[in-house]
Chain A
Amino acid sequence: MRLDALRRRFFGDIVNTGLTLLVLAALVLWLPPLVRWALLNARFAPDIAACEALDHRGACWGVVAEKARFILLGRYPANDAWRSILAAGLIAGSWLGVATGVLRGRFVIPALALAPLVAIPLLGGGVGGLESVPTELWGGLPLTLLLTAAGMAGSLPLGIAVAYGRRSSLPVLRGLLTAYVELARGIPLIAALFVASFLLPLFFPDGVALDMLWRVLIAIVLFAAAYLSEIIRGGLQALRTEQLDAAAALGFSDWQTQRWVVLPQVLRAVAPSLANSAIALFKDTSLVTIVSLYELTGSLGLALSGDAQWRPFYLEAWIFIAAIYWAGCVVLARISRAKPLPP
């Protein structure tokens, strides 16, 4: 019976049999060369002579060992690398903690919001005896994590405020907020980053000069908040009105109703969409390399494009950071399933 079911699944009819054979043929054709390239013939030591001798018949994973600090930390000063690693560890740790359920209940939101707030002085220094490091030297994975965590921490409150504002009884406020949301959602992120890069300096009064990093963060927060506000607005619309009646019957004030009845239910209902936004933002942080901030994607280019010896092994280094992005997305997706939010 079991065998019969298996047979039907793989060879049920002509179409199915054909697909099975096609996939099997592809596996037989592609898998052995892939294994040979990635493992059997591969070199794991950062030995350029051995790698060149391979002539790409095997992967040169040594490029990762050779360039690890550059790819992962960018141009951050080597002497203070521990600060950069600690900052990345704090943010990644807060994500992992929530995703695995170690951090739960009332610790979740403070942990996710505080990690980037602590990471910023840690990276920047100038306090507590840490030497100050200008923001243009921040880079690699810590910068990717910081932009994502700080971007979410900034845009979620703004998104909630905009969602409530669009339900206001004041048509002027509704109109202005609608215009903002449609504008931000209508343009590509690169356009917003160009605005941050070229236009924001023109907008600030004399004597106020924000670093590119902060300008880009402002753009990311404003961009992401528009998307988050639409998600929250959808959640608010889906909430059953009985909930409001019940809160009113219990004598809750407007504020209490929103804080203890409406928001917790809405946030829990839209948690999967919020996680999707966090994933989108995590991947989108790669675009800041276009305005010369060298996060993970940018530092990969920085590490290899100027090095004629190691540049031929770009693909191996690429696979390394693609795996990091992939893992980050998986962890973020798990956060929404962890049911972490307190009442």
Chain B
Amino acid sequence: MGASSRVAQALILAAVVGLFVLLAVTTAGHLEQRGIRSGFDFLLEPAGFTLGESVLPVDAADSTLLAFVAGLLNTLRAALPGAALALGIGILAGFGRLADNPLVRGLASAYVNAFRNIPLLLQLLAWYFILTDLLPAADAAMRLAPGVFLSKSGLSVPWWGETGFEIPEPGGFGIDGGARLTPEYLTMLIGLALYSAAYIAETLRAAVLALPPGQRLAALALGMTPRRAFIDVLLPQAWRAALPPVTSQLLNLFKNASLAVAIGYPDLVSVAGTSLNQTGRAIECLVIVIAVYLLLSLGAAAISHRLEQRNLKGRPA
């Protein structure tokens, strides 16, 4: 490496470090003016707020750290089942778009077109309106199946409760027993799954269409039916090509779970927002959010890399 490029690098580094020092000094000045303390000590102090719902019970006297953990668990609670649903619906819709049957193809195309071209936030707002405004009140809940009730206050399903395995039934003020999924949670689950599934369907379709046409012709020439050729010859190859973009869609679903803040589902970002408003520690709260998402992204990237490697090994020579 020449001397000139070393000088150039030193200058770039000096400029960046200088910029960061300048920002830090300015920021410290502002924080002092406004009397905001800094540091992560607030994490161990009582949160002072409660969460609308949580897998991990948190009350105002618990530490802020616990509230953040509960927020992260809430994010995962919406994103993980959402990802599984998205994958399932996406695969079905992707097949639908490739089907010979024009009715099936038309239906799948209409779904993919509509859900990809409307902002996710707008879709979530519509689901939330439907689930909280259009459904009947809890005392007139719709009975979807034995023990499954849907109303303005959410979806009640059979689940283990205080008295063992409970089957929900209409009670005095609504539905008693079992587990209740809130409208906020259902909105996130349905909204995230249907939005991501439309993208996954498109990815799968593109992967199948990108295969050389000779693959299908060869399979047909060997006497396979079109359906066998699709399942045994085209799909395994397309799946390999689709894996990286599909994992990136699932990662997007994770990031999109942060839209929960708009409808009041207490995910990591909304906990950070609430805590930020209470303590004024904007930098600390946002650093936590950014760090968690970066770690999740890097982790997912590592897993997807592993999967690809394994897939390459499994490939016939």
* Interface residues, chain A, with chain B CB atoms under 8 Å away: 9-10, 12, 15-16, 19-20, 23-24, 169-173, 176, 182-183, 185-191, 194-195, 198-199, 201-206, 279, 283-284, 286-287, 289-290, 297, 301, 312, 314-315, 318, 321-322, 325-326, 329-330
Select B101's contact among A9, A187, A297, beta carbons within 8 Å: A9
Lowest 4 A-B CB distances belong to which pairs?
A: A329-B117, A186-B297, A188-B255, A283-B119
The answer, among B9, B118, B258, B262, for a CB contact under 8 Å with A322, is B118
Q: Are A290 and B5 in touch, CB under 8 angstroms?
A: no
Given contacts A24-B103, A326-B114, contact A290 B262 (CB under 8 A): yes
Q: Contact check, A194 vs B286: say whether CB atoms are below 8 A apart.
A: yes
- Which residues of A lie under 8 Å from residue B227 when comparing CB positions? 15
| Of B104, B122, B282, the contact of A198 (CB 8 Å cutoff) | B282
* B273 at the A interface (CB under 8 A): yes
Distance in Å: Cβ of B196 to nearest Cβ of chain A? 13
Main secondary structure, interface of B, reads helix
Output the nearest chain B residue to A321 by Cβ-Cβ distance.
B122
The answer on a CB contact under 8 Å between B117 and A326 is yes
How many angstroms between the C-alpha atoms of A315 and B130 in the bound complex? 8
A315 CA / B123 CA spacing, docked (Å): 11
Q: A172-B13, A187-B255, A190-B258 are in contact. Are A287 and B103 (CB under 8 A)?
A: no
Q: Which residues of B contact A315 (CB under 8 A)?
A: 126, 129-130, 134
Closest B residue to A312 by beta carbon equals: B133
**Distance from B6 Cβ to chain A, minimum over Cβ atoms (Å):** 9
Q: Mark B298-317, 1 if CB is under 8 A from A, else 0.
A: 10000000000000000000
CB < 8 Å neighbour of B104 from A19, A204, A284, A297: A19
Asked if B119 and A198 make an inter-chain contact with CB atoms under 8 angstroms apart, the answer reads: no
Is there contact, CB below 8 Å, between A286 and B122?
yes
- In contact, B107 and A23 (Cβ under 8 angstroms): yes
Chain A residues lying within 8 Å of B125, measured Cβ to Cβ, are 297, 301, 318
Instruction: Count A-B pairs with CB separation below 8 Å.
Output: 138
* Nearest CB in chain B: distance from A340 CB, A: 21
Q: Is the CB of B269 within 8 A of A10?
A: no
Chain A minimum-CB-distance residue to B281: A198
Partner of B290 from A10, A185, A187, A283 at Cβ < 8 Å: A187
Which of under 10, 10 to 19, 20 to 34, or 35 or more describes the interface residues of B? 35 or more
Which listed residue (B107, B119, B269) contacts A188, Cβ 8 A?
B269
**Among B27, B31, B119, B255, residue most surrounded by chain A Cβ atoms (within 10 Å):** B119
Interface residues of B in 1-28 (CB under 8 A from A): 1, 5, 8-9, 12-13, 16, 23, 26-27
When distances are taken between beta carbons in the complex, the residues of chain B under 8 Å from A170 are 5, 8-9, 12
> Does B229 belong to the interface (CB within 8 Å)?
no
The answer to whether A322 and B122 touch (CB under 8 A), given A20-B103, A183-B294, is yes
Residue of B nearest to A17 (CB): B101
CB contacts (< 8 Å) of B273 on chain A: these are 194
- Could you list 14 examples of A-B contacts with CB < 8 Å? A9-B101, A19-B103, A23-B107, A169-B1, A173-B12, A187-B255, A202-B26, A279-B117, A284-B119, A286-B119, A287-B259, A301-B125, A315-B126, A322-B118
Which chain A positions have C-beta within 8 A of B272?
194
Closest-CB distance, A27 to chain B (whole angstroms): 8
Minimum CB distance partner of B121 in chain A: A286
The CA-CA distance from A284 to B118 in the complex, in Å, is 10
Contact pattern, B 217-256, Cβ under 8 Å of A = 1, otherwise 0: 0000000000100000000000000000000000000011
Q: List chain B residues, Cβ under 8 A from A9.
A: 100-102
A191-B286, A202-B282, A321-B122 as given contacts; A290 in contact with B261, CB under 8 Å:
yes
Q: How far is the CB of A139 from chain B (nearest CB, A)?
A: 16
- The reply to whether A202 and B104 form a contact with Cβ atoms under 8 Å apart is no
Provide the residues of chain A in CB contact with B276, threshold 8 Å. Answer: 194, 198
**CB closest residue in chain A, given B2:** A169
A321 CA to B125 CA, complexed, in Å: 12
Residues of B near A286 (CB, < 8 A) are 119, 121-122
Contacts of A176 in B (CB 8 A): 12, 16
> With the chains together, A318 CA to B129 CA distance in Å?
10
Q: Known interface pairs A186-B294, A186-B297, A198-B282. Does A10 touch B9 (Cβ–Cβ under 8 Å)?
A: no
Report whether A297 and B114 are in contact in the complex, using a CB–CB cutoff of 8 Å. no
A-contacting residues, B176-190, CB 8 Å: none
